[in-house]
Chain A
Amino acid sequence: MRTEIGLCFAFALSLTGVVVAESDADKGLAIAVEADRRDTGFHDFRAELTMLLRNRHGEESSRIMRSQSIEVENDGDKTLIIFDEPRDVQGTALLTYSHKTGDDDQWLYLPALKRVKRIASSNKSGPFMGSEFAYEDLASQEIEKYTYRYVKDDEIDGQSTFVIERDPVDENSGYKRQWVWIDKAEYRPLKIEFYDRKDSLLKTLVFSDYQQYLDQYWRAERMYMENHQTGKSTLLTWKTYEFRVGLADSDFTKNSLKRAK
């Protein structure tokens, strides 16, 4: 009897062992999938963005943009960003078709020349408008763009969180890995640490002032990115979020770029 119990116990233990051995990757992925599931189905939205760029001497410069996105079934979102300031780039617009796998497609519209230019979007790590946000930080965050690993549980400002590591699949990414703090209650990212290719801490992004839309979709109004290696920072503020405003695929074409004002 005793042996049987012992055997059963050992068997159960080995089972758990197998589960535990796989679970860091599985659990990491499961958290990412759940976060993605909760943010799926919004169809479309638009918002206004302000970026406040600050260098290590405290000198500031600002960017004002409008953004609109539409979900694409079985692929990444389509996004259109129109620049309002600085004035010399007013009317410039960036169209992105993000993909779950492979490079995104990107076009830039230059209003002075009425020209739509194709951009090589292998440039993921480049700074967006001179800010501390890289193109890949602002791109649609698809599950397939990373591999995952659950790291630990943690707490941020009294909210209990998961910490997962995600490693970019794309070799053109500027990062070796990212640590993402996701709150257990709503599966929203609260903080991301970005590690460069040499695995040193490069940047920290902190999300705050979350608002809920359509009783489901959470959006952070403030995203504060700090670069630890240069001392520069960018505060990205999102305003006037509107969901399901009736955007269609035809609002995300090269012709629609030329209409952007």
Chain B
Amino acid sequence: MTRWLLMAAAMLSAVASHAASQEWRAEVSAELRAFTESPVDTRQHGANLSLSAEVEYHNAWDDGRHALTVRPFVRVDQHDDKRTHADLREAVWTFHDRGFEVRLGVDKVFWGVTEVYHLVDIINQTDVLENPDGEQKLGQPMLKLSRETDLGTIDLFLLPWFREREYPGKQGRPRTQPRIADELSSYSSDQGRHHVDVALRWSKNLGDWDLGIAHFRGTGREPRLLPGFDGDGELVLKPRYDVIRQTSMDLQGVVDSWLWKLEALTRSDAEDDFIAATGGVEYTFYGVADSSSDIGVLAEVMWDERGEAATSPFNRDAFLGVRWVANDVDGTELLAGVVSDWNNGSRFINVEASRRIGNDIKVGLQARAWAAVDRQDTLYGLRRDDYVELKLTRYF
């Protein structure tokens, strides 16, 4: 830790001693969730109000070769004390010169191409508290070295500190039943969260296709959930983290108005040796009916060799969706779709829409529903957690 502090101090003094371009930005959001049914657990609520804020400081110097970005995030939640949380999303020093790049600090990295399920994305832990859709991530301490050559880009990651997945508390909603007690997380490795993870990725643009191949060795981001009891003697699910090896590929191609997407991996953990894949297509109709609107049709399939025993609910599922982009001044967009489990018939319905109001305000609407959820499905606990969320964000 002392080393990190020294490094931070050195970075700051380097920043202070250079004439640099500094930038501040911030966003504040208010979010209201309303649930359509009574909760499974009586400690949960029918409506929830929540506020969040994010500030970003960015400083670049030496003609942009060096940069420092710091981005803290905080949320205050009306009912769920677990969801009242803070995170350092980013605190990273970047150096780049002629195709060589170093990133040191807390950062966020995304791998993948599909819309619904981010199968191969593994560097950052998912921030489940923020949104059950898995799009939000926790900052990950790392050293990243990149080299771009004609033969592709090589990224090498050293990840010295593991971030546990944090789950909604007793009053949190939506959440699994029974609750996942992250305070009872355990590790199969003696080193626990101090296990140093490594990852290597090669990626290349091949004209109309983008290909990435990666290998990860370290603590799996997705825990196994084991039944147990918490301090109050209540039945809970306890996360168990294994050291895994994973080799993955992601491929995306563009052919006229078609986008082709494929993610696949093979992973070995303490229990299993398995393969999983997700992929699909997106076809876009541009300028529909002589308007400036685009309508895209999306179809994706999610498959996991482990079936119902998978750590992910997307194991035998198919997604069908529609994206409408108005291309108007207010940036109006809508994405609606259904994920169906073809093994047990469970369905997850998702609608997301957003538009700008003026230059600095954005309004977003999300509606989520779980239908015919099978008892065997991981999402069974969410069967009565259908909700509508209205979110207002002001940018500064």
Contacts and interface: CB of A to CB of B under 8 A. Distances in A.
Interface string A90-131: 100000000000010100000001111011111101110010
Given A88-B393, A88-B395, A113-B110, A126 B148 contact: no
A88 B329 CA distance: 13
A254 interface: yes
A261 to B, nearest CB: 5
A88 B148 contact: no
B207 A105 contact: yes
Contact of B257 (A123, A254, A261): A123
Given A61-B359, A123-B257, A250-B99, A90 B395 contact: yes
Interface string B324-351: 0001111100000000000000000000
B96 A259 contact: yes
B292 interface: yes
A259 B205 contact: no
A88 B254 contact: no
B256 A120 contact: yes
A126 B331 contact: no
B331 A130 contact: yes
A82 to B, nearest CB: 12
A72 B128 CA distance: 44
Instruction: Kindly state the interface size class of chain A when it binds its partner.
Output: 35 or more
Contacts of B23: 261
Interface in B346-392: 356, 359-360, 362
A215 B110 CA distance: 44
A90 B292 CA distance: 23
Given A126-B294, A259-B96, A115 B110 contact: yes
B284 interface: yes
A129 B181 CA distance: 45
Contacts of A130: 327-331
A123 B293 CA distance: 11
19 contacts: A87-B360, A87-B396, A88-B360, A103-B208, A105-B205, A105-B207, A113-B110, A114-B109, A118-B113, A118-B210, A118-B252, A118-B253, A118-B254, A122-B286, A127-B292, A174-B287, A254-B205, A259-B67, A261-B58
Given A86-B395, A87-B359, A253-B99, 11 more contacts: A86-B356, A103-B208, A103-B256, A116-B110, A119-B254, A126-B286, A127-B327, A130-B330, A255-B101, A259-B67, A259-B96
